[in-house]
Amino acid sequence: MAGKNFSEKHRILYYEGDQNAHVTLPMLVNMMVLASEDQSELLGVGPKKMSTTGLGWVVTQYQIKIKKMPKINEEVTISTEAINHNAYFCQRDFWISDKEGNELVHATSIFVMMDLQKRKMQKLIPEILEPYESEEVKQIIRLPKIIEPEDGEKLSHQYSVRYLDIDQNRHVNNSRYFEWMINTLDDEVLTNNFPSEVNVRYHVEVQPGAMINSKAIRSGSQGDFRTNHKIFVDDTLCTEANIEWQSYLE
């Protein structure tokens, strides 16, 4: 038995799109997170309630499968559901569909609760978890590991963490990592292709004021290629990802 399903409509705004008028991957993730926050607020366990516990929700992994990127001014429906949980981890899924009900995006995510002062993972607490009515299981789904490429074109770019990169949980907003990863690629690649599958794992929080090094390896042929991404602070691996790319023309 799965948990409560929540849906809301959203019109893609001009600042959520790229030069092709397609929604960007960082904005797509923000839209999904907003839906989960709106559900939490509706159930009485939103940010205000969470603040009384000293805890915050933190995502550890996303697997996102994209059939088609929505475009600016397109109206979509974003649905989300807390599928199941064990003592420490919670699986939450997201779906984005068009006005005709065609599924455009399906994402599976793994969330944990973090003590915002100690910056350590905490056991899930019933008073926050119960309103979602997610199924309690011994073991939740294991999303795929990040695959290391054998070879390919190596790319890199450095960024400093800015004040506006930090969210209310006092860590770098999840969408920023996608910006850092994707911006290692050139304009031609991003103009002609979209991410059809994304698998990203977060290992270590990037702290305010840090200097990050975003590294990428691109392999495969045009229209059917993949990229491997790693975000470092000094020698510490903070985030890694695999992204499969597909041509807009296919």
The answer to whether residue 159 scores a pLDDT higher than 60 is yes
pLDDT tens-digit map of 37-60 = 999 999 999 989 999 999 999 999
The answer to whether residue 147 scores a pLDDT higher than 80 is yes
Kindly list the domain boundaries of the chain, sorted by start residue: 5-136, 153-247
pLDDT band at 184 (very low <50, low <70, confident <90, very high): very high
The answer to whether residue 15 scores a pLDDT higher than 60 is yes
- For 220, half-sphere exposure in the C-beta direction (CA atoms, 13 angstrom radius) is 17
- The pLDDT score that the predictor gives to residue 150 is 81
Domain 5-136 and domain 153-247, same fold? Reply is: yes
| Predicted TM-score of the model (pTM) | 0.94
| Percent over 90 (pLDDT), the chain | 84
The mean pLDDT value for 229-248 works out to 96
- The pLDDT score that the predictor gives to residue 223 is 64
The answer to whether residue 117 scores a pLDDT higher than 60 is yes
Residue type, 181: M
Q: Write down the mean pLDDT value for the chain.
A: 94
The CATH fold of domain 153-247: Thiol Ester Dehydrase; Chain A (3.10.129)
CATH of the domain spanning 5-136, picked from 3.30.450.40, 3.10.129.10, 3.20.20.390, 3.40.50.720: 3.10.129.10
Residue 134 phi, psi dihedral angles, 5° rounding: -75, 155
